[in-house]
Amino acid sequence: MIDPIRIFIGSSPKNTIEESVFRYTLLKQTQHPIEIYAIDGTSGSAKNLTTGEVKRLPAGVSDRIQGATAFSLARWAIPEWCNYQGRAIYCDSDQIALQDMTELWNYGLGDSSLAAVPVKQAKCYQHYIADSMGVFLHTEETFYLASVMLMDCEKIQWNLSELVELLDRNAFSLPNLMYLGEQFRQHFNLSVSALPSEWNHLDYADRESKIVHFTDLTSQPWRFHHNPIAEVWETVFLAAVDDNALTQAQLETAYANGWINRRIKVLAQLPSLVRRPINWVWRSWGATVFKVRTTLDRQVQRLKSGLFRLTQWKTIRA
H/E stretch holding 7 reads strand 5-11
Q: Are 131 and 81 members of one domain?
A: yes
| C-alpha–C-alpha distance, residues 152 and 165, integer Å | 23
Residue spans of beta strands (DSSP E) within the chain: 5-11, 34-40, 46-48, 54-55, 87-92, 95-97, 114-118, 144-152, 192-194, 201-202, 211-213
| pLDDT tens, residue by residue, 159-205 | 999 999 999 999 999 999 999 999 999 999 999 999 999 999 999 99
Is residue 225 in some structural domain? yes
DSSP letter at 226 equals -
DSSP letter at 124 equals B
H/E stretch holding 248 reads helix 248-256
Which residue, 167, 202, 237, sits at the end of a domain?
Answer: 202
| C-alpha–C-alpha distance, residues 155 and 113, integer Å | 5
pLDDT for residue 55 is more than 90 = yes
Residues 6+ apart with CB under 8 A from 80: 58, 159, 160
Q: Give the domain range for residue 231.
A: 217-317
Is residue 211 in some structural domain? no
Which residue, 176, 202, 228, sits at the end of a domain?
Answer: 202
Q: Are 160 and 246 members of one domain?
A: no
Is residue 210 in some structural domain? no
Is residue 175 in some structural domain? yes
pTM: 0.91
| pLDDT tens, residue by residue, 60-85 | 787 776 566 667 889 999 999 999 99
| C-alpha–C-alpha distance, residues 9 and 46, integer Å | 9
Whichever domain contains 43, its CATH number is 3.90.550.10
Q: Are 233 and 196 members of one domain?
A: no
| C-alpha–C-alpha distance, residues 96 and 56, integer Å | 26
CA 13 distance to own-chain centroid: 15
Is residue 24 in some structural domain? yes
pLDDT for residue 308 is more than 70 = no
Is residue 212 in some structural domain? no
Q: What type of residue is 76?
A: W
| C-alpha–C-alpha distance, residues 123 and 192, integer Å | 19
Q: Are 188 and 242 members of one domain?
A: no
Q: Are 24 and 143 members of one domain?
A: yes
| C-alpha–C-alpha distance, residues 89 and 86, integer Å | 11
Which residue, 202, 229, 263, sits at the end of a domain?
Answer: 202
- How many distinct structural domains can be found in the chain? 2
Mean pLDDT within 29-52: 93
- Helix 16-29 with 248-256: angle, nearest 10 deg: 140
Q: Are 105 and 18 members of one domain?
A: yes
Q: Are 139 and 274 members of one domain?
A: no
DSSP letter at 140 equals S
Q: What are phi and psi of 133, to 5 degrees?
A: -130, 25
H/E stretch holding 166 reads helix 160-168
Q: Are 157 and 254 members of one domain?
A: no
Mean pLDDT within 272-286: 93
Q: Are 286 and 172 members of one domain?
A: no
